Amino acid sequence: QQQQQHGRLQGPRQEAAEYYRGHRVPQRMEEALNALFPQRPADLYGELANYFSKFSKAPVICKLVGRKVLDGVGQPTLEVEIYCTVKNYEKRICSSVMSSHSQIPENALPETTEADEKEKSDSVNTAVEWVNESLNTMLRDLEPTDQCKVDKMLGEYFAKKVEEKKEIQKQAEEEAEAALPTSWTQSATTLPGKKKAGNPGKKMAVAERSIPPAEPVESMLCGSLAIGGTSLAIAKAGATISHIPLYLHIALLKHDRVSPKEMTLPLPMVTLLNCEKISPAKLKLVKEVMLIPPVQVSLKQGIERVLDIQKEIMRLLDPPGKVPSPQVADSKKGRAHNTGKKALPRALKRISHLGCLITGCDSLEQLLLLVQTACNNIGLKLGTDMYLALNCAAHELMDYVKGKYEILTGTFKSPDEMVDMYVGLINKFPFIIALIDPLRKEDRQQWNNICCALGSKCYLIAEDAAMCISKLKIDQNINIPTCSGVVLKYINQTKVSDLIELTGLLDGQRHITILGSPDGESSDDSLVDLAVGLGARFIKLGGLSRGERVTKYNRLLAIEEELAKNRTLR
């Protein structure tokens, strides 16, 4: 009986011994004990865990969670969480929150804005559904460090959804056509040939023929946020799993896993003023006035200068004739109360969603003089200690009846006249080193002309004048007007691999890359890491007065400190 019991025990023991020997456990245990004994670590078991962790399997994705959250302006957007199986346990690795972007102009009709908000909400709901169902199943068991494979699968999934939408639209059109009586169809096809336009119609047609018509706004597929959100979340998870910062992970992806010896920080384009284009202000030409610190100073010093200028601008914008509240000499409580009331200038109460002061001016010279005066008052010289960039947002200025841009209330200029105006502006104010969207993207000839005239004096940058990232790549060429560079925004179905490929193309064609923040910014600071990792020349984050924007400047400052400490900051 004892022999039988011994035999029964011997079987499992033999099996266990073979199992552990097969995985080299005794050998590695001996190596670990021999290696750690001379060190005599304070936390022996912690050090043993560290030693054996390098032999564990690579973490794999086990779950994706999508949820609807709010961005910095209270609009719905998408959050994607990544869970991985790490050492046999499910663990939450990271999350990403997408920024929302609207192509509706600021002066749009209420019903247009309402329809856009509903479309956004529906798109986020669909994106949440895609993440929690299809993408959750599709990406399970993949390694989060394999960005190319994940992005390829995401791209194929999105292409399939686009085809599905086309089929649904085609079927709906066929059904609608079949439902119409034959007589209606015939009359509809013959009507344009019979109808003659009246005089007003003729004027409109002539005006529109004199300039290229506006290209239609690219429609976004409902749910496209799921693609961009998941791709970014996977990149963040890959960096976390690899125990490296996201910017370094992105740089390694761009340079085929070769770690750069030095890294350059992008120069910030900090929005100082958001210019109103409504009455009583007459100036319509400029949407944003931005400050660019010189490369000779550190990012920290540059941000401090911007803050000083912002404070002085606020003081100058304080309404004239404002009398401080009378203080009560006998009451400390009253004195403290009054001081608190006058501590914040009136201008601070009007902060744009871009995180900067809102103002309105009657002329461009008045606006530039305001900034110049603020700089002079605090001992800074424009063109040496600080530079300016102007976002003209020219696509918002075109009057299609007249075929001209309305630069001031009642003052119009043709595309050719706009070029002459910008040449005069830069010659008069050489401290302006960048113009963003000085013309519509459709005015290709004028883009060529302005680049020939000003290309050596300032950057001419396409933001809204550039196509969406998905349309920028055509046969390895960049489908944009002739310009110095492009503002890229991480929105909708953009994938990390798209940005890597596109910035490589831009670098090869000697265009500069600017990573830009969308209108509806979130508190996710990944955009900064993307800009650093991709080697962007500039980063456009808005102003220094809203939490979701300031958090990105804080991240940029932290990266500067980290690179300086590691001696890898160029």
Tell me the per-residue pLDDT of 20-57, one tens digit each, with 9 for 90 and over: 888 889 998 998 999 998 999 999 999 999 888 888 89
Q: What is the predicted pLDDT for the residue at 254?
A: 94
Residues 432 and 484 in one domain: yes
Residues 398 and 438 in one domain: yes
Q: What is the predicted pLDDT for the residue at 175?
A: 83
Question: Which long-range CB contacts under 8 A does 293-297 form with residues at least 24 apart?
Answer: 293/267, 293/268, 293/386, 293/387, 294/384, 294/385, 294/386, 294/387, 295/267
- Rounded CA-CA distance 316/375 in Å is 11
Residues 402 and 463 in one domain: yes
The domain tally of the chain equals: 3
Residues 288 and 418 in one domain: yes
Residues 478 and 431 in one domain: yes
Q: What is the predicted pLDDT for the residue at 332?
A: 38
- Rounded CA-CA distance 465/398 in Å is 13
Residues 227 and 354 in one domain: no
Contact between 478 and 453 under an 8 Å Cβ cutoff? The reply is no
Contact between 218 and 471 under an 8 Å Cβ cutoff? The reply is yes
Residue 74 buriedness (CB in 10 A; 0-12 / 13-18 / 19+):
exposed
In a domain, 11, yes or no: yes
- Rounded CA-CA distance 329/335 in Å is 7
**315-340 CB burial, b ≥16 within 10 A, e <16:** ebbeeeeeeeeeeeeeeeeeeeebee
User: For residue 237, what is the domain's CATH number?
Assistant: 3.30.390.10
In a domain, 68, yes or no: yes
| 492 given a catalytic annotation | yes
Residues 35 and 104 in one domain: no
User: For residue 382, what is the domain's CATH number?
Assistant: 3.20.20.120
In a domain, 463, yes or no: yes
In a domain, 324, yes or no: no
Domain that holds residue 396: 246-318+348-566
Q: What is the predicted pLDDT for the residue at 507?
A: 87
Q: What is the predicted pLDDT for the residue at 65?
A: 98
In a domain, 4, yes or no: yes
In a domain, 328, yes or no: no
Residues 125 and 40 in one domain: no
Residues 98 and 30 in one domain: no
In a domain, 16, yes or no: yes
Token pair listed for 402: 């007249």
Residues 21 and 68 in one domain: no
Q: What is the predicted pLDDT for the residue at 100?
A: 77
In a domain, 101, yes or no: yes
Q: What is the predicted pLDDT for the residue at 312?
A: 95
Residues 39 and 69 in one domain: no
Cα angle 472, 475, 479; round to 5: 30
Q: Which residues of the chain have pLDDT under 50?
A: 188-209, 323-349
**Which candidate in 136, 274, 449, 492 is catalytic?**
492
Name residue, tokens 């085929």. 256
Helix or strand holding residue 36 (H, E)? helix 25-36
Token pair listed for 459: 């950057």
Residues 468 and 547 in one domain: yes
Q: Cβ of 18: how many Cβ atoms within 10 Å?
A: 10
Q: What is the predicted pLDDT for the residue at 476?
A: 58
